[in-house]
Amino acid sequence: MPHELSDERGRALTFLAVGVLSFGFSGVLIKLCFFPPSVVASFRMILAGAVLAPFCVPAWRRFLAERGAAGVLLLLLPGVLLGLHFHAWVAGLKLTSVANGTFIFSMNPVFFALAERFVRRRRVPPFALISLALGAAGAGWLFFLKRGTPGGGGDLLCLLATLLFVVYLLVSRWVTKTSPQTETKTSPQTETKTSPQTETKTQTGRSQLRTGRTRTSPQRPRAPTATPHHLYIHIVYLGGGLATLPLALLGGGPGRVNLGDTGSILALVGLALFPTLIGHTANNYGVRFLPPLTVSFFTLAEPVLATAAAALVLGEVPAARELPSYALLLAATVYYLVRARGRPLEKLPKPKAGDATSGRRTGSFR
């Protein structure tokens, strides 16, 4: 079991690395899509969910039969938060530069560390604090060069999107623990071993069957099967997009969509396929096996990739005085990943002697 968990964590780290590459083109695609921001935010999720729909029909039937509407509503919660994040993020990037928006977003590990310390009551290791300091210094350097204070609606919306992203990943982590994503396997020894009491009950049952006297015992309710990851993200994307669609309708966004704008349509499809289906799916998969703080550190590479893509495609070339901020953010990411490699990623605190909760599991984000 520990070996399987280690393999899953290695797979999650690889998936996150690929996801960061797709995130690097998110800002450029948003700039190239001239549809209203609310339309872009909702329909990138709806399109991503629709792509997964044909692969989720059998899983949908089983899920509804076992968990009903309550299970769907639970999975809709992170979807709504992700939809609100997209609405704030797309609207903010329309009003500011790709570099400014992504570097404001790169401060999300700081908020995750605060959540780890004050919400989850967990100790942040010293190497993570050093990485946070490097990341905050890099983001602060660029922020100081740009404006010095969070002025402007675009910057404020990007900051709001960053906070929503933090809440979204934390809630997604909680939901994946509440609605299990992995199935437990029964070992062969467990299947073949029977206790003497069980053998006695079996023999008694056989004798009752021969004499015609039987006694039926109530059956235990069958535990629900694991939720496949593709069904989980399908509900998150499609449900979150539909739930936030009224924001686009109230703003009159669909009426301002030019269906003859082929470039905007291709950019919207690109947003759905790459940053959403690959990037955010990697985040969802990552929080199943890694701490949210670890997942958030991968986003520190996004500003560098996004700024490079914006320079090549949009002509938004950063000034030379901004280069130290890129170096600090890359250093924060590399230092954290090197120090975290091989360490237990989520080590539960040992219960104290005489603790009332000793030996008893309690609900938490872990």
pLDDT at residue number 111: 82
> Rounded to the nearest 5 degrees, what angle is found at the Cα of 11, between the Cα atoms of 7 and 16?
150
Q: Which of 81, 119, 118 is nearest to 364 (CA)?
A: 119
Contact 23, 108 (CB under 8 A): no
Q: Residue 67 CB: number of other CB atoms within 10 A?
A: 17
pLDDT at residue number 351: 38
pLDDT at residue number 234: 94
Contact 45, 237 (CB under 8 A): yes
Q: Which of 330, 326, 322, 307 is nearest to 93 (CA)?
A: 307
Which tokens belong to 264? 């905007």
**Radius of gyration for the chain, computed over Cα atoms and rounded to the nearest angstrom:** 24
Which tokens belong to 69? 């509407």
Q: What is the DSSP string of 187-249?
A: PHHHHH---HHHHHHHHHHHHHHHHT-----PPPPPPPPPPPHHHHHHHHHHHHHHHHHHHHH
Which tokens belong to 34? 């001239």
pLDDT at residue number 129: 85
Task: Outline where the chain has alpha helix (H).
Answer: 2-23, 26-32, 37-52, 57-95, 98-105, 108-118, 126-146, 153-178, 188-192, 196-211, 229-250, 262-271, 281-289, 292-297, 302-313, 323-340
Q: What is the pLDDT along the chain (366 residues), one digit of tens a residue?
A: 555 666 777 888 888 888 888 888 999 999 999 999 999 999 999 999 999 999 999 989 998 988 888 888 998 999 999 999 999 999 999 988 888 888 888 878 878 877 877 777 777 788 888 888 888 888 788 777 765 444 467 888 998 999 999 999 889 888 877 665 434 333 444 444 444 554 455 455 555 545 555 455 555 555 556 778 889 999 999 999 999 999 988 877 788 888 899 999 999 999 999 999 998 888 888 877 887 777 877 877 888 888 889 989 988 887 788 788 878 877 887 787 677 665 544 443 443 444 333 333 333 322
Give the C-alpha separation, 93 to 307, whole Å.
Answer: 13
